[in-house]
Structure 1
């Protein structure tokens, strides 16, 4: 599949939703992608099963605080420099790349470097959404190493990272990204084709494109973009349940950039009507991504399920660094891919990993979706 300008915009729209508030705003990546297409470069998307077992497949994406990425633009050379250095480290050419996470700008991050390398992007990613830390990738959960990895920054700095385990890798890479201005690009978890087919979350890029296209078409035809989004997510097979959690206006916001993350909370006050049981209050907590949603004090969604704040009128997703007082929003939730709900995955990406206790309840059970 060739990703043209329309599909690029659809991917950005869908990846912004799948980021659960994180992954970085995709706006700059869209500009880079449009410029690449104008130069005659092509973006080729291939399925996992098209990979040879001995192929070298490399995930990549940005590490750091999304609040920094809004103000500190990349040079545009970071990803390609990191991939070229990894080729040197491994002594062979890269055959394909994929997003380390499908969320936000990271869902588009591999496209431009893949075009420059002349290799395809695999229709898969390492998280099925966005998570704030690199050891939360499915590859680590399944016991694969992030190393060797290569971290590059806009200033031209390049660092090859080798660590004894993936948690140490995250801490080293995070500290480096902070030292280099708060944002950096990372090439990590080099895979064989066989490993990618066994462990990557397949179909996530095409699911993002389909979700974005559903919103676009619904808006063009004057239909409900949220209903179209829910249907597209269910049809993907990866996100079987989705729905609105709350409508309201942002009335309070706390956000700070610390330790290489954007952390905080946002409060949303209902309009007083009956929509989604509104008239009350919703509070979200985030660490780059939205992690937990409480409606009138009761949990209605929590990691690893997706929680995304969207513009009530346009159905555009609002990343955590773009949240502002007074925005009229709909909070939308979606079930995470099944692999993220397995016991071994919940140890890394479930509520306990973020200090919310060790009991996970699926979003569809918390909200009574799919009954009757």
Structure 2
């Protein structure tokens, strides 16, 4: 199905994305502004994957960086510039774009691009929830020895602005872009990793944008409890933050938040929440969804948590989400576990038992 995105979609997409962001995926207000701008300047289109030939070429549009960085800036013009740099270097034409993940800003990735260029957005994400590393959102391309990654990037305030394009191995090019985000003040817009639509459908999360919109409508009507019910989850903890640490490492927010509740709730995050521990043991771990809400029931990014703030924690099982094949690959978890100094990766351990 082909349809034009409307103003009725904006709040649902952004708030549904914020829930699925699991602490990452950007910020609500910026997502709303970018989506509103897209509809003011053009007519962004959302097409289901079956509207394309399997061999048609699509590319990921994304944001890369640390949300708590002190001086970031990515403007809609930066998003468009990143796509221009990518298209300049590609051996053949793109016919569409798709987002890397669901999040408050990332679910609407591609809307501005579509409004400005006429390229449709595919109702598909590399992963149906937010994730911290580029490899987690690369749909298994890191396993293809002959895959050549192309990436365009742009971002930063005028005195820290960077842009560029890079091609080569997936890990090497992703590291270049991550480093560029640091030099830009913490954040860049990226267009990257062209693949055929058939590959994206097989290895990504088709239907992810619609999934976020449906969830957002439930959240807007019923709040966190409604979102939890929609996802087959629950509000697992509520309390006041008594300890919070966050530092930027390798272009990511790495930290922990501890609540004062009787259960001893501890949240570990690398942009997104990676693990929820109670005094009695591990309650949930990525790719399970762990999302925080403020005292007013609004989605709260891990970067906005602070000591003295009262929060609630939603937990939903991984099998209720639309997940990429990478979420079941043990090797993608190791770098994130190393940053936190803990082991989690429940999906990887489950695979090992098969």
Decide whether aligned partners of structure 1 residues 43 and 129 sit closer, same or farther in structure 2, where only a CA change above 3 A counts.
Answer: same
In the other structure, the counterpart of 2:166 is 161
Work out the CA distance in 2 between the residues paired with 1:207 and 1:176: 32
Work out the CA distance in 2 between the residues paired with 1:351 and 1:334: 23
Work out the CA distance in 2 between the residues paired with 1:182 and 1:352: 20
> In structure 2, the residue corresponding to 1:101 is in which secondary structure?
coil
Work out the CA distance in 2 between the residues paired with 1:232 and 1:137: 24
In the other structure, the counterpart of 1:309 is 292
Q: What's the offset of the Cα at 1:147?
A: 0.8
Q: What's the offset of the Cα at 1:322?
A: 1.0
Work out the CA distance in 2 between the residues paired with 1:37 and 1:43: 7
Q: Residue 185 of structure 2 is aligned with which of 176, 181, 190? A: 181
Is 2:125 the counterpart of 1:125? Answer: yes
The CA deviation string for residues 143-177 of structure 1, in whole angstroms up to 9 with x for no partner, is 3546111122245532221233x222322221122
Alignment check: 8 A CA contact 1:126 1:137 kept: yes
The CA deviation string for residues 37-86 of structure 1, in whole angstroms up to 9 with x for no partner, is 234x2222111222222322111111111113x74332321121121222
Q: What 5-or-longer segments of structure 2 have no aligned partner?
A: 349-354
In the other structure, the counterpart of 1:112 is 112
In the other structure, the counterpart of 1:238 is none
In the other structure, the counterpart of 2:275 is 292
Work out the CA distance in 2 between the residues paired with 1:295 and 1:177: 34
In the other structure, the counterpart of 1:206 is 210
Is 2:296 the counterpart of 1:318? Answer: no
Q: Residue 29 of structure 1 is aligned with which of 28, 31, 37? A: 31
Q: What's the offset of the Cα at 1:343?
A: 8.8
In the other structure, the counterpart of 2:257 is 266
Using the size of structure 1 for normalisation, the TM-score is 0.83
Q: What's the offset of the Cα at 1:345?
A: 2.4
Work out the CA distance in 1 between the residues paired with 2:56 and 2:267: 41
Q: Supply the RMSD in Å over aligned alpha carbons.
A: 2.5
Decide whether aligned partners of structure 1 residues 71 and 268 sit closer, same or farther in structure 2, where only a CA change above 3 A counts.
Answer: same
Work out the CA distance in 1 between the residues paired with 2:193 and 2:303: 27
Equivalenced residues, count = 337
The CA deviation string for residues 266-311 of structure 1, in whole angstroms up to 9 with x for no partner, is 01122xxxxxxxx332011111111111112511011121111112
In the other structure, the counterpart of 1:86 is 86
Is 2:184 the counterpart of 1:193? Answer: no
Using the size of structure 2 for normalisation, the TM-score is 0.87
